[in-house]
Amino acid sequence: MFEELKNRPADSLLALIKAFQADERAGKIDLGVGVYRDAMGRTPVMRAVKAAEQFLLETQDSKKYLGPEGDLQFVRLLQPIVFGKSPTFVQRLVGIQTPGGSGALRLGAELIQTANPSAKVLLGTPSWPNHAPIFGSARLGVKEYPFLDLTSQQVKFESVIEALSSADPGDVVLLHGCCHNPTGIDFTMEEWRQIAELLVARKLMPFIDLAYQGLGDGLEHDAAPTRMILETVDEALIAYSCDKNFGLYRERVGALYAMARTADDIGKAESNMAALARVNWSMPPDHGAAIVRTILESAEMSAMWRAELEEMCERVNDNRAALAAAAPDLAFISRQRGLFSNLAMSRETAAALRARHGIYMADSGRMNLAGMQPADAGAIITALRAEGC
């Protein structure tokens, strides 16, 4: 059996972690792995998370099964944060807890495959490297189109318009809700409006991936495009991750929301989401979602969470500003949002930055802006210049 398998390439980001750890130079800087880091280089457990865990430890009196939908109070309490306090479309929403944003994407992909197996998923590139494989492994066709020109750091909006205009009715458009991974480049609100109009005109369904809410310009600002799209279209899927904005990465906390047209359709979406969860993971892991629920149930813990998230967001944006100040030709970095920016560079240049300067970033040129301190800006720019960037 197993001899029929082909070896898969090792995860290059994991190799990057190992290489960074093995590097003994004092000034090494890790802009590789995609997690938030504080000024000490740690990825801390957030204060509100610690408080919620303490509360759960003392009060949780059962670990009995919850069901394929997971913690529905978590799903409900997250709703106003994502969609606003009383959105017009609230009656048309249904949600289910998933193992992370990845689980939500996978479940959404299978829901599409169940409803319309011939639907294609339109994916602007570059994108998160897991997007295309997730849709592909759910046996959906993926149609990639260039979203952005890395050299000019500009969205190729005419290419986006062309891709949507030539899609077939029923096709799905994957959209990063905010803090685009890997480029940090989001559509302007005007571009989002044009996209919304095209979605309606071409009868396309948006699948919004919202994995970094609060890490761009704050919770409300970062959700604005998602809310506008949902006010405009009839149907949508939203894959939400709490793993970054609650710092819960390994706990795997996410949710899939579907917005449907009629009460009947909502019921169908809901029962199919639960059935698909059942055959994939039976039930999602509880602990992380219970933490988020506990935080959102408490005004005090919620305030603690919001304050710390704002600190994290500010830290990343301060790093962006420091790089832009040190290199005016890289000022675009200060206008980009979220953890990542992606410089145009070859693998060889990325390798030289590691070998000669101890600056670690992905081979693609993606850098995690949370991996540095403002005081590192000079060293990073000097290294980039030495390698011709």
| Spatial distance between the Cα atoms of 278 and 345, rounded to a whole number of angstroms | 43
Taking the complex as a whole, the smallest distance from the CB of residue 100 to ligand PMP amounts, in Å, to 3
Contact 258, 111 (CB under 8 A): yes
Contact 252, 243 (CB under 8 A): yes
Q: Which residue(s) pair with 144 in the sheet?
A: 123
* 209 classed as catalytic: yes
Give the largest Cα separation in the chain, rounded.
62
Question: Residues in the site for ligand PMP, rule: CB under 6 A?
Answer: 34, 100-102, 128, 176, 181, 209, 211, 241, 243, 249, 254
Q: Which residue(s) pair with 98 in the sheet?
A: 254
Two structure tokens written together for 284 = 């999602």
Catalytic entry in 128, 286, 363, 376: 128
Taking the complex as a whole, the smallest distance from the CB of residue 153 to ligand PMP amounts, in Å, to 18
* 244 classed as catalytic: yes
Amino acid of residue 289: A
Taking the complex as a whole, the smallest distance from the CB of residue 328 to ligand PMP amounts, in Å, to 29
Choice between 123 and 384, CB closer to ligand PMP: 123
Choice between 123 and 380, CB closer to ligand PMP: 123
Choice between 100 and 216, CB closer to ligand PMP: 100
Q: How far is CA 91 from CA 187, 239, 260, in A?
A: 28, 18, 9
Taking the complex as a whole, the smallest distance from the CB of residue 55 to ligand PMP amounts, in Å, to 23
Taking the complex as a whole, the smallest distance from the CB of residue 102 to ligand PMP amounts, in Å, to 3
Choice between 102 and 317, CB closer to ligand PMP: 102
Two structure tokens written together for 165 = 């205009």
* Phi and psi torsions of 122, nearest 5°: -90, 125
Choice between 157 and 249, CB closer to ligand PMP: 249
* 23 classed as catalytic: no
Taking the complex as a whole, the smallest distance from the CB of residue 35 to ligand PMP amounts, in Å, to 9
Catalytic entry in 209, 243, 286, 363: 209
Residue 324 Cα to chain centre, angstroms? 24
Contact 140, 120 (CB under 8 A): yes
Catalytic entry in 171, 222, 243, 244: 244
Residue whose token pair is 């706990």: 251
Residue whose token pair is 């000034």: 27
Neighbour-count burial of 135, counting CB atoms closer than 10 A to its CB (0-12 exposed, 13-18 middle, 19+ buried): buried
Choice between 241 and 349, CB closer to ligand PMP: 241
Which residues are marked as active site? Answer: 128, 209, 244
